């Protein structure tokens, strides 16, 4: 591979819970690891239901994007993992607020479990 690979870790996002980085830049593409609703100051899941957890996930995503010099407007694809698809409507309302008129491609799936008992995880792909 001739393109430089750069790992990105944001001091404003929670530390990774495993052997991975917050994001990897290859060329003009930023591949972001999934974010769960960890509070960066405590490294613990935020209290509350899907609304509180989704807000924290978007805060964590914003921190990673910002460290990479990007914003939500640079996001071209998201994958949303929900422990329960009955949380879709509440998550979708916050998702619409976060992205505004910008509408990246998206996949949403229900999974049986997420790290640390989280209700939601979101990963994003962004471009420079």
- pLDDT, tens digit (0-9, with 9 covering 90-100), for 104-127: 999 999 999 999 999 999 999 999
pLDDT in tens, 39-83: 999 999 999 999 999 999 999 999 999 999 999 999 999 999 999
Domains and CATH numbers, the chain: 5-127 (3.30.1330.40)
Mean pLDDT of 2-29: 94
Strands ordered across the beta sheet of 5-8: 5-8, 23-26, 29-32, 120-127, 75-82, 105-110
How far apart (Å, rounded) are the C-alpha atoms in residues 92 and 19? 30
How many of the other CB atoms lie within 10 Å of CB of 62? Answer: 18
Go through the chain and tell me how many residues it has. Answer: 128
> pTM of the full predicted structure?
0.96
């Amino acid at each position: 591979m001739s393109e430089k690979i750069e790992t990105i870790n944001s001091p404003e996002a929670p530390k990774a819970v495993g052997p991975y980085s917050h994001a990897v830049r290859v060329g003009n593409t930023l591949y972001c690891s999934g974010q769960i609703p960890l509070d960066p100051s405590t490294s613990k899941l935020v209290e509350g239901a899907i609304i509180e957890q989704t807000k924290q996930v978007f805060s964590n995503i914003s921190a990673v994007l910002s460290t990479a010099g990007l914003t939500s407007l640079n996001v071209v694809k998201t994958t949303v993992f929900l422990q329960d698809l009955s949380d879709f409507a509440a998550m979708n309302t916050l998702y619409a607020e976060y992205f505004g008129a910008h509408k990246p491609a998206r996949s949403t799936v229900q999974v049986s479990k997420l790290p640390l008992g989280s209700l939601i995880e979101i990963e994003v792909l962004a471009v420079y």
